[in-house]
Amino acid sequence: MNCEDWEIIKRHLEDAICKTVQEFRDNPSDFLSENDIQAVLFAELRYQMRHLRMRYDSSCAKDKCFGESLDVSRVLSEYQLASEGNCDIGILCGEQDVDTLNLWQRPCRIGIEVKFWQALEQHNWKEPRGLHGDVAKLQRYWKRRDEKGQPFTGIVILFVHPGPRYSLEMESITGREPGVDFPENGVSLHLVTPSGHWWNKVPALQA
């Protein structure tokens, strides 16, 4: 993927995420589940990147249910990150990878996980369920891509309702310094509350 392609993606990605964040902050009670947030973000990304498509040649694939030559959207939901499992939203690479002909397992350039801490969750949990697992999943996929010299950006966005009591100091895992919110290569963690939006790059997975 060339730099021009990354700049196009970054511009649309940032705009879609910022619009979703603003909608959540303006009306947090409109979002009662992770699926509500995922749907808004997915719709924004599909719209922003409606012209960003990938040519897919399935002439050598066993399953040709869509024909042999496709022009597919690069923004997909519940997309498979190789053997690491699904991510909530995946943005595919622009070029076709000859390593696999499976349309359901194309290489991802961007993987997004949405996490949600609801107002009803008044437990003394140290963290929302699945947060670190999703971070680790994106880190593993990043490591797989990095070993091949291929860039990948993972983004985990934690949305927090007003009201939950939590013992984890979120700023300690996100920081407050902008500039690494959309790294070209690596994994970042965003925190969205009714009062702010902070982010930080997650340390690389150690070998």
The pLDDT of residue 171 is above 90: no
pLDDT of residue 105: 80
Q: Mean pLDDT, to the nearest integer, of 107-136?
A: 78
- Give the global pTM: 0.85
pLDDT of residue 55: 77
Residue 151 located in a structural domain: yes
Residue 61 located in a structural domain: yes
- Band the pLDDT of 113: cuts 50, 70, 90: very high
Looking at the structure of the chain, the number of domains it has is 1
Residue 152 located in a structural domain: yes
What is the phi-psi region of residue 181: left when phi exceeds 0, alpha when psi lies from -120 to 50, beta otherwise? alpha
pLDDT tens across 43-78, in order?
Answer: 999 999 998 888 776 665 555 666 666 788 899 999
Residue 43 located in a structural domain: yes
pLDDT tens across 41-51, in order?
Answer: 999 999 999 98
pLDDT of residue 179: 47
pLDDT tens across 21-43, in order?
Answer: 999 999 999 999 999 999 999 99
What does the alpha-carbon distance between residue 136 and residue 111 come to, in Å, rounded to a whole number? 12
Q: Kindly state the percentage of the chain with pLDDT values over 70.
A: 70
Closest CA to 189 of 160, 167, 162: 160
Residue 207 located in a structural domain: no
What does the alpha-carbon distance between residue 112 and residue 91 come to, in Å, rounded to a whole number? 9
Q: For residue 103, what are the domain limits?
A: 3-202
Closest CA to 121 of 168, 173, 171, 157: 168
